[in-house]
């Protein structure tokens, strides 16, 4: 029986790479993002290279009503979602007091509320069938406060905490929940969209590719791993965070991410 995965934020970056991994593993795909042209491009590419069905849905997922609209669209098409990948998300860099509230509000809606609402809608049908997998994309930002991206870091802490608790609630029911925590990743638009251009550590580090992060996330989902931190460097960082006073960690991130003085 062919399984179907719904991936949010599949028009580029990690979501696009996840779509390729699921395609290689013979899943049918439902790909969601705003950019119709990019989604259609991915659809053409993946149907030409794999014997699978690829459906695309153009939708802005940062609106409060969008999860229900997406769910109803999927139901009306008679589709079953076996795997839900909540990947769409973005960051917004700068001092919190100066943030553009409309943009920040969209970020919080997309990163947290849409992810939670979609899960709430898609989980019960999974439970009825006794099978389902949920992959939520958080970040290594989930593990500590992040001055100058305060709300983004907090949103990813939410995603991690939510997913860990959900994994506990659904254990032994045929459903699994995994949270993927990438560190800074190459081959995505994250940095540009978050306006992180002038942050030094993003420029200096040798970053992993989105394709490697996606494969790692898929493997973690297959293993039913709950928390999956990508890369040895990131795992070391997470371990160091755990044994360092939180205030010291916050200061360190604050120094790393402080806007450059001209």
Q: Which helix (H) or strand (E) holds 191?
A: helix 190-193
87 near ligand NAP (CB under 6 A)? yes
Output the residue with the shortest Cβ distance to ligand NAP. 13
CB of residue 139 to ligand NAP, shortest distance in Å: 3
Contact 212, 162 (CB under 8 A): no
CB of residue 105 to ligand NAP, shortest distance in Å: 12
Q: How far is 56 from 43, CA to CA, in rounded Å?
A: 7
Rounded to 5 degrees, φ, ψ at 18 are -65, -40
**How do 132-137 and 83-86 pair as beta strands?**
parallel
CA atoms within 13 A on the CB side of 48: 6
Nearer to ligand NAP, 33 or 126 (CB): 33
Residue 157 tokens, joined: 């802490």
Query: x/- binding map, residues 119-138, to ligand NAP, per CB under 6 A?
Result: ------------------x-
Q: How far is 225 from 241, CA to CA, in rounded Å?
A: 21
Nearer to ligand NAP, 173 or 200 (CB): 200
User: Looking at 57-65, 69-77, 237-245, 247-255, which segment touches ligand NAP (CB under 6 A)?
Assistant: 57-65
CB of residue 167 to ligand NAP, shortest distance in Å: 18
Rounded to 5 degrees, φ, ψ at 235 are -65, -35
CB of residue 223 to ligand NAP, shortest distance in Å: 20
Q: How far is 111 from 194, CA to CA, in rounded Å?
A: 13
DSSP symbol at 209? B
CB of residue 103 to ligand NAP, shortest distance in Å: 11
Q: How far is 208 from 171, CA to CA, in rounded Å?
A: 32
**Residues near ligand NAP (CB under 6 A), total:** 28
CB of residue 203 to ligand NAP, shortest distance in Å: 13
Nearer to ligand NAP, 120 or 171 (CB): 120
Residues 36-55 that bind ligand NAP (CB under 6 A): 38
Binding-site ranges for ligand NAP (CB under 6 A):
9-15, 33-35, 38, 60-62, 87-90, 110, 137, 139, 182, 184-185, 188-190, 193
């Amino acid at each position: 029986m062919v399984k179907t995965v719904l991936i949010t934020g599949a028009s580029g970056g990690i979501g696009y790479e996840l779509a390729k991994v699921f395609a290689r593993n013979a899943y049918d795909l439902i790909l969601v993002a705003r950019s119709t042209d990019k989604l259609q491009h991915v659809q053409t590419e993946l149907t030409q290279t794999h014997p699978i069905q690829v459906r695309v849905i153009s939708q802005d997922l940062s609106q409060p009503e969008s999860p229900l609209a997406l769910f109803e669209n999927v139901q009306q098409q008679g589709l079953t979602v076996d795997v839900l990948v909540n990947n769409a998300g973005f960051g917004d860099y700068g001092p919190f007091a100066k943030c553009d509230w409309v943009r920040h509000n969209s970020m919080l809606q997309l990163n947290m509320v849409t992810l939670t609402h979609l899960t709430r809608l898609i989980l019960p049908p999974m439970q009825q069938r006794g099978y389902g997998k949920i992959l939520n994309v958080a970040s290594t930002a989930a593990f500590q406060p992040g001055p100058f991206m305060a709300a983004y870091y907090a949103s990813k802490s939410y995603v991690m905490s939510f997913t860990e608790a959900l994994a506990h609630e659904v254990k032994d029911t045929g459903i699994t929940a995994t949270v993927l925590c990438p560190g800074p990743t190459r081959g995505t638009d994250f940095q540009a969209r978050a306006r992180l251009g002038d942050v030094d550590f993003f420029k200096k580090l040798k970053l992993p590719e989105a394709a490697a992060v996606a494969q790692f996330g898929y493997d973690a989902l297959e293993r039913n791993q709950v928390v999956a931190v990508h890369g040895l460097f990131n795992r070391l960082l997470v371990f160091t965070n755990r044994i360092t006073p939180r205030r010291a960690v916050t200061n360190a991130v604050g120094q790393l991410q402080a806007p450059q003085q001209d």
